[in-house]
């Protein structure tokens, strides 16, 4: 048995893997402990309940998604449309590798838990609401960049546009998960740009007309 | 105890109510029987398992959604954009009434079960995939109407556009469920039209330019 911090970390990783591949209610504390190689007494030393473990797992998934995907993509020198394209390509690649690894597309951990638990667990619902709000804020930056670049009309509302994009991305993941087909992310991904650029297209077409 | 057909119907209604408000794995056969006022022996007379009950419940939800919402809205004399607006208004009204009734937004039964079970239950995943395909077909009709009406460009691909709209509607429901706020359906609903009409807007703007 490793150090205390290792055991806690292993439990969080087990939650990400088991709950992320199946669902919250399909995975019990006993199975999480067995997967992590940690005794049940240790589990309750670190976490009062499966919910508390899941809240920490959600924090870690969000931290990793920010650090490994959102920040490198959104802090690059690319144009706003290129940033969205890269985000979608990385999402497709990740979901394809998950399917190769576990045999099926596992989708978005936030969306999955949100739909399973929002009516049942207020703390988890609020945690995912906060994550979606923070994600929306990241996208607002790219929307404002697109306005600066002249890709989007200056009348664009960054808040509602970025929330619409988060909704669309979550919906695309939902369909891709239901069809067990990551290619749907590629096929429907261009709709993200359509949600953004329709006003600008109209303006451009008008100027060119 | 009522007639055999009544007891079967009551079990399906209990599944729609209990699983629809919580989740599949949070509701057991015992609770479904108690809610329906049906003995466990009767349950297994009608359904080999909870999965089989759920498959019939999904069929009934889809039948009701078609007959009570999609067909009246889509077979009306309204224009294509009006049909989408009516669909979204009805969705908002239904979700608001559910929130008033059970204290929280319950979202889309298909999307909820898809994300909870797609990696775990191939039969349920396939059933929801079929339902999404059929729903997409309904929307294709409205997309083609929009092309005929000149609201959409003749270059529009009805299949991919209607799948994008199903994805967006599911994503909007996912966010509204996560935020426990049916108003998100109203606020983001106009994005549906944006996914459709951007090309036409460009064409119109060009003609007017």
- Asked if B167 and B100 count as a contact pair (C-beta separation under 8 A), the reply is no
Tell which wins on pLDDT, A204 or B43: B43
pTM over 0.90, yes/no: yes
Could you read off the pLDDT of B6-48 as tens digits, one per residue? 999 999 999 999 999 999 999 999 999 999 999 999 999 999 9
pLDDT of residue B204: 43
pLDDT of residue A192: 77
Could you read off the pLDDT of A143-190 as tens digits, one per residue? 999 889 988 888 888 998 899 999 999 999 999 999 999 999 988 887
The answer to whether B205 faces chain A, any CB pair under 8 Å, is yes
Chain A nearest C-alpha distance from B1 (Å): 31
Give which of A38, B178, A95, A3 is closest to A12, Cα–Cα.
Answer: A38
Could you read off the pLDDT of B60-103 as tens digits, one per residue? 999 999 999 999 999 999 999 899 999 999 999 999 999 999 99
Lowest-pLDDT range of A53-57, A58-62, A125-129, A160-164: A160-164
Distances (CA, A) of B34 to A25, A137, B9, B30: 21, 46, 14, 6
pLDDT of residue A155: 83
Chain A nearest C-alpha distance from B52 (Å): 18
pLDDT of residue B180: 97
The answer to whether A192 faces chain B, any CB pair under 8 Å, is no
Q: Is the ipTM of this complex over 0.90?
A: yes
The answer to whether A132 faces chain B, any CB pair under 8 Å, is yes
| Nearest-angstrom CA–CA distance, B61 and B70 | 12
pLDDT of residue B195: 67
Q: Tell which of B108, B189, B198, B207 to mutate to test the A interface (max A CBs under 10 Å).
A: B198
| Nearest-angstrom CA–CA distance, A162 and A168 | 10
């Amino acid at each position: 048995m490793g150090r205390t911090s290792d055991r806690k970390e292993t439990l969080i990783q087990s939650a990400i893997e088991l709950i992320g591949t199946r669902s919250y209610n399909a995975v019990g504390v006993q199975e999480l402990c067995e997967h992590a190689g940690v005794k049940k007494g240790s589990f309750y030393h670190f976490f009062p309940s499966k919910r508390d473990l899941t809240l920490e797992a959600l924090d870690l998934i969000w931290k990793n998604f920010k650090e490994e995907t959102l920040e490198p993509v959104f802090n690059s020198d690319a144009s706003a449309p290129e940033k969205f394209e890269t985000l979608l390509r990385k999402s497709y690649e990740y979901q394809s590798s998950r399917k190769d690894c576990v045999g099926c597309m596992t989708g978005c951990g936030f969306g999955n838990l949100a739909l399973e638990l929002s009516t049942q667990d207020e703390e988890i619902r609020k945690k995912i609401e906060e994550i979606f709000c923070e994600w929306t804020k990241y996208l607002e930056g790219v929307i404002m960049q697109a306005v600066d670049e002249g890709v989007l009309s200056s009348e664009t509302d960054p808040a509602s546009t970025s929330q619409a994009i988060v909704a669309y991305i979550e919906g695309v993941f939902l369909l891709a998960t239901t069809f067990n087909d990551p290619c749907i992310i590629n096929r429907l991904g261009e709709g993200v740009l359509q949600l953004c650029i329709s006003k600008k297209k109209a303006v451009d077409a008008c100027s060119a007309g």
